[in-house]
Amino acid sequence: MTTAICPGSFDPVTIGHVDIIKRAAKMFDRVIVAVLVNMEKKPWFTIEERTELLKKATEGIENVEIVGFEGLLVDFAAANHADAIVKGLRAISDFEYEFQMALTNNKLNPDVETVFLTTSAENMYLSSSIVKQVGLLGGDISPFVPECVHDEILLRIRQRSNLK
């Protein structure tokens, strides 16, 4: 049985994330989506909120599980006997950062391989930051997030804007 980890901050989940998860789920027997801490980012959503949103957004994909984890990705991958870490690669701008992470992870644990899936052309521009920015400024986020979690994401963004 092959296992892949799809790691990320997912703050919040976008249709681009779901596309990568669905494609990984066709390639591997088991896909564990790991909601992790990115120390370079200040999350708007808690790990629990991000996990819940992902569970709803991936409902019905049989071989996908969603897990929140606060340690090193390679430790999580090893503990789950993962064959690969799967990440989506959007554009040149992603490359340097993703390359650095993949090499660091491989140094920390040479048994862990990173596989990149090219993002679908229609999601090239999409990111969680764009969703937060558009939502915060009153724009329509429906083209960017799964329909089933649209209202929850918008509510959280609005709550956040009221706090400012």
Which residues participate in catalysis according to the annotation?
17, 41, 90, 128
Which residues from 36-75 bind ligand PNS, rule CB under 6 A? 36-38, 41, 72-73
Q: Given candidates 9, 114, 119, 123, which one binds ligand PNS under the rule CB under 6 A?
A: 9
* Maximum CA extent, the chain: 48
123 interacts with ligand PNS by CB under 6 A: no
Nearer to ligand PNS, 37 or 117 (CB): 37
Nearer to ligand PNS, 25 or 86 (CB): 86
Q: Which part of the chain contacts ligand PNS (CB under 6 A), choosing from 44-52, 100-108, 111-119, 135-143?
A: 100-108
* Shortest distance in whole angstroms from residue 38 CB to ligand PNS: 4
- Going by C-alpha positions, the residue among 103, 107, 34, 32 that lies closest to residue 70 is 34
32 interacts with ligand PNS by CB under 6 A: no
101 interacts with ligand PNS by CB under 6 A: yes
**How is the chain classified by DSSP, letter by letter?**
--EEEEEE--TT--HHHHHHHHHHHHHSSEEEEEE---TTS--SS-HHHHHHHHHHHTTT-TTEEEEE--S-HHHHHHHTT-SEEEEEE-SHHHHHHHHHHHHHHHHH-TT-EEEEEEPPGGGTT--HHHHHHHHHTT---TTTS-GGGHHHHHHHHHHHHHH-
Nearer to ligand PNS, 14 or 140 (CB): 14
Binding site for ligand PNS (CB under 6 A): 7-9, 36-38, 41, 72-73, 101, 104-105
